[in-house]
Amino acid sequence: MDKDTVEIIGAEAQRSNLGDYEQARQSFDWVDEEKKFSWAESGRLNLAHEAIDRHARSGLGDKIALHYSDPEREESYTFEQLRQESNRAANMLRTLGIGKGDRVFIFMPRTPELYFTLLGIIKIGAIAGPLFEAFMETAVRDRLQDSGAVAIVTTPKLAERIPAHELPDLKHVILVDTSKPGGSEASADDSLLPGDSPFADFHKLMGEASTETEIEWVDREHGLILHYTSGSTGKPKGVYHVHGAMVQHGYTGRIVLDLRPDDVYWCTADPGWVTGTSYGIFAPWLNGVTNVIRGGRFSPQDWYETIRRYRVTVWYSAPTAFRMLMGAGDEAVSAADLSSLRHVLSVGEPLNPEVIRWGYRVYKQRIHDTWWMTETGAQLICNYPSMDMRPGSMGKPIPGVEAAIIDDQGQVLPPLRMGNLAIRTPWPSIMRQIWNNPAKFEEYTRIEGWYISGDSAYMDEDGYFWFQGRIDDVINTSGERVGPFEVESKLVEHPAVAEAGVIGKPDPVRGEVIKAFISLREGYEASDELKAEITKFVKEGLSAHAAPREIEFKDKLPKTRSGKIMRRVLKAWELKLPAGDLSTIED
Ligand code: PRX
């Protein structure tokens, strides 16, 4: 591409933590970053200690760590209060016999209790499994089963979606009332489970628990968190991250989020997704920064009001949200007070140049695109305040990380050639394993020395990376990753559905929406009512975001001779493109 044809928005004149990108790259060494943590000297390592206790104990005790609000609640907690509440949570879990290495899930809306619990799990060296609250029974069951979770902290209402009789490892269901601080007597419904009641009352146990605890010191390779995510085949996979990832959470918090001591930071993601933990919890608190959590539903007015109320300075969100905010119009921005903002970032899906231009005009801010994945644990390719931005580009790899475009044989391709976006292994936050499924892990590292992302991209002559698409059939709807197989499996459980093939259909606001092609069983008639019923079935069985927005009935679906539905052909139908090589098709 000719450099002159590339649109450039210049670097912001302000000071930034990174400074000159090329210089920072040259002088960078991860070892220097490790020295910034207290374990570098003490040898005692635990991410929750570094994120909370270290600050509480070194002069930041009275600093606000968390501003929480939703339409019903509004609370703030200092680092010292978070230290105590997470100690209580750690003790609560220990009272139940839960300890190091156990998988403990969290299934509740974003409320302070979620954050106390997650930190408590980490403090005892257990492995946290956060679940998005929109998950329905099948999605919950698959994740708890695969991980062998021993406990889950959830609300009485969400507990109804936990099929405990199918989960022999699950010993404790800890019920929390998230409607007000301290909750009320959670209604432990014993009828949900046979035998010894596994129900426990969060508020009672927390009330009895001491605010002091012994932190479990762990190895940097010790398990921290399991994030389940989707691929194009098979059930969701448990991406396994370790405590040592904190080195990169801390570093990128400083140079990509550009966090400074007086910042008020807001990441809009839910901890059920990796952005909501790596950047909704770890990065800001490792940097001792005040973190804003806003519960409740998205609305442009509500979001702008959140920025105004807390005087948010650094804001991390996603393209779908920015497109919806753009759709809400310039007037909504003029009516708001966003003057506190200093740095805005985006992740999860391609960020349209049009959105960047709009943001630049109305927010007077560049929206900095960042690229990474559940599996990478932290940001890898980013735009920095001190670097010229090319709208539409994901930016350049962070110092300490080498990215390249390689072909299927592992040959590095020259600039402007499209291929596999690959990262030189290892880096501190890379997943260490796919839980229960080492073979899946091998797929990412099948080319010696490289992590294969599954994205296709090219690099321009100046080293900027440009996202082109997924190589597999993974769907990205509103920035949420959906595996077609999981949706297809649910669809064929419906009595009317004989076969189903699911694809992502391009959508101007959501990036992609889910479209299902379905062939019906004998005796069923295609109708709009049936479409609605099938959609509802997926919504209630799996989750709302995984339900097809569009269904098309077909007499027959294209399949390979081995019986695999050819999503590629469905996609070509949808986009009215040539279907490509059909040599393996059934007939
Ligand atoms: O396809 C890429 C897309 O989202 C995928 C990772 O999804 P997930 O694991 O859910 O993590 C999302 C947040 C870390 C990637 O393989 N993706 C992520 N960021 C970008 C992106 N696509 C284009 N531009 C991005 N900045």
The neighbouring-strand residues paired with 69 are 74, 294
Q: Is residue 290 part of a domain?
A: no
ipTM over 0.90: yes
Q: Is residue 535 part of a domain?
A: yes
**Ligand 1 centroid, distance to 267 Cα (angstroms):** 16
Choose the final residue of a domain: 240, 272, 306: 240
**Ligand 1 centroid, distance to 82 Cα (angstroms):** 31
Torsional class of 126: left (φ above 0), alpha (ψ -120 to 50), beta (otherwise): beta
**Ligand 1 centroid, distance to 181 Cα (angstroms):** 35
Domain range for residue 106? 77-240
> How many domains does one find in the chain?
2
CATH number of the domain that 114 lies in? 3.40.50.12780
Q: Is residue 208 part of a domain?
A: yes
Q: Is residue 88 part of a domain?
A: yes
Q: Which helix (H) or strand (E) holds 54?
A: helix 54-56
Q: Is residue 23 part of a domain?
A: no
Q: Whose CA is nearest to atom 10 of ligand 1?
A: 481
**Ligand 1 centroid, distance to 236 Cα (angstroms):** 16
For residue 481, which atom of ligand 1 is closest to its CA? Answer: 10
* Cα end-to-end distance, the chain, whole Å: 42
CATH number of the domain that 481 lies in? 3.30.300.30
275 in contact with ligand 1, CB cutoff 6 A: yes
Q: Is residue 127 part of a domain?
A: yes
pLDDT of residue 11: 85
Place of tokens 């059939």: 473
pLDDT of residue 3: 47
350 in contact with ligand 1, CB cutoff 6 A: yes
Length of the chain: 587
Q: Whose CA is nearest to atom 11 of ligand 1?
A: 373
pLDDT of residue 587: 60
Q: Is residue 420 part of a domain?
A: no
pLDDT of residue 2: 46
Choose the final residue of a domain: 240, 258, 284: 240
52 in contact with ligand 1, CB cutoff 6 A: no
Q: Cα–Cα distance between 529 and 112 in angstroms, integer? A: 41
Q: Is residue 527 part of a domain?
A: yes
347 in contact with ligand 1, CB cutoff 6 A: yes
393 near 384, Cβ under 8 Å? no
Q: Cα–Cα distance between 467 and 575 in angstroms, integer? A: 20
Q: Whose CA is nearest to atom 15 of ligand 1?
A: 373
Would you give per-residue pLDDT tens digits along the chain (587 residues)? 444 567 888 887 678 999 999 999 999 999 999 999 999 999 999 999 999 999 999 999 999 999 999 999 999 999 999 999 999 999 999 999 999 999 999 999 999 999 999 999 999 999 999 999 999 999 999 999 999 999 999 999 999 999 999 999 999 999 999 998 888 754 555 444 445 678 999 999 999 999 999 999 999 999 999 999 988 788 899 999 999 999 999 999 999 999 999 999 999 999 999 999 999 999 999 999 999 999 999 999 999 999 999 999 999 999 999 999 999 999 999 999 999 999 999 999 999 999 999 999 999 999 999 999 999 999 999 999 999 999 999 999 999 999 999 999 999 999 999 999 999 999 999 999 999 999 999 999 999 999 999 999 999 999 999 999 999 899 999 999 999 999 999 999 999 999 999 999 999 999 999 999 999 999 999 999 999 999 999 999 999 999 999 999 999 999 887 778 899 999 999 998 887 777 767 66
